[in-house]
């Protein structure tokens, strides 16, 4: 093959690669723009009043002053094996004045920020069911019954769960996440492009399943149970922090000493859910 042909082929391949990357980036940015411009029930005056509140200003000021020390303390705790000590040294990165417990009081329930502020026809996801859908029914109710809920578990759910899911405008998926069932496939099959509220409890599957989702799709709030050592918890929190998620609630699991529930919100959704940003307390990977 002439040398000129090789150069030409490489040039064409490079141009095609650049074109595909550009198109992919365009659609990702477009999804974010569409989300941010979709009308919500948020009262702008309420948000402004909240941000101008002297109490909130003082709370944010104190958080910013202590943030550097909070990161150092948490990092040192992550080097040890005591999970409870790590969880209790966690400081909030965002203030939500309207936290609501959704689901069971013990294991399985999650703290959601201002759930009534979801957008119309939003997408809810509940990953990890085991035929226990108290959270799913509750979140469907408090969001006004206007959202589509996608649920998944490693095994098919029993008939009672299937019938209950049909009544809450739900769609069920079965498969091990993410090896057999990538989260993106659920969205593609249901025709959804972003997620408003994501509950994820998939027994360590979160370490490989979550990042591809939040990298390629827009997600507002995440309620995640992380399993493992303090250092593993920190690594997962750093991954979410890299994509703009900030902690607004930490809830120790009373039945599992190496598990903890974290509620996080995307920085781009804070105004919608009337949340105030505080200091960043999760140390970055290179800190």
Q: Which residue has the higher pLDDT, 150 or 49?
A: 150
54-78 helix and 230-242 helix, angle to the nearest 10 degrees: 130
Three-state DSSP state, 113: strand
Q: Both tokens of residue 60? A: 């944010």
CA-only gyration radius of the chain, Å = 21
| Domain residue ranges of the chain, discontinuous segments joined by + | 1-37, 41-277
Q: Which residue has the higher pLDDT, 285 or 40?
A: 285
Residue 164 near residue 137 (C-beta atoms within 8 A): yes
**Eight-state DSSP code of residue 283:** P
Q: Which residue has the higher pLDDT, 177 or 21?
A: 177
In this predicted structure, the answer to whether residue 91 has a pLDDT above a threshold of 50 is yes
The string of pLDDT tens digits covering residues 109-127 is 899 999 999 999 999 999 9
Strand partners, 251: 261
85, 239, 94, 115: CA torsion to nearest 10: -110
Q: What are phi and psi of 125, to 5 degrees?
A: -130, 140
- pTM assigned to the model: 0.84
**Among 20-29, 30-39, 84-93, 123-132, whose mean pLDDT is lowest?**
20-29
Residue 94 near residue 270 (C-beta atoms within 8 A): yes
Class for the domain spanning 41-277: alpha beta
**Among 22-36, 51-65, 126-140, 160-174, whose mean pLDDT is lowest?**
22-36
The string of pLDDT tens digits covering residues 129-181 is 999 999 999 999 999 999 999 999 999 999 999 999 999 999 999 999 999 99
Q: What are phi and psi of 259, to 5 degrees?
A: -120, 145
């Amino acid at each position: 093959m002439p040398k000129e042909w090789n150069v030409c082929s490489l040039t064409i391949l490079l141009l095609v690669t650049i074109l595909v990357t550009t198109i992919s980036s365009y659609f990702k940015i477009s999804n974010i723009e569409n989300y941010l411009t979709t009308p919500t029930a948020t009262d702008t005056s309420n948000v402004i009043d909240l941000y101008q509140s002297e109490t909130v200003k003082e709370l944010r000021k104190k958080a910013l002053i202590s943030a550097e020390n909070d990161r150092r303390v948490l990092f040192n705790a992550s080097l040890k094996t005591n999970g409870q000590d790590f969880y209790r040294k966690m400081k909030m990165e965002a203030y939500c004045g309207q936290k609501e417990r959704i689901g069971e009081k013990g294991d399985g329930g999650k703290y959601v920020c201002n759930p009534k502020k979801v957008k119309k026809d939003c997408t809810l996801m509940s990953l990890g069911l085991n035929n226990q859908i108290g959270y799913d029914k509750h979140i469907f109710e408090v969001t006004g019954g206007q959202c589509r809920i996608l649920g998944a578990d490693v095994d098919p759910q029993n008939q009672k769960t299937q019938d209950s899911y049909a009544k809450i405008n739900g769609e069920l998926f079965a498969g091990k996440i993410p090896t057999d069932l990538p989260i993106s496939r659920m969205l593609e099959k249901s025709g959804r492009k972003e997620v408003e509220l994501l509950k994820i409890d998939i027994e360590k599957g979160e370490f490989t399943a979550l990042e591809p989702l939040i990298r390629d799709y827009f997600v507002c709030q995440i309620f995640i149970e992380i399993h493992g050592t303090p250092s593993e918890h920190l690594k997962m929190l750093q991954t979410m922090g890299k994509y703009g998620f900030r902690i607004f609630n930490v809830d120790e699991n009373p039945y599992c000493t190496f598990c903890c529930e974290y509620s996080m919100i995307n920085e781009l959704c804070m105004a919608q859910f009337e949340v105030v940003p505080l200091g960043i307390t999760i140390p970055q990977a290179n800190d």
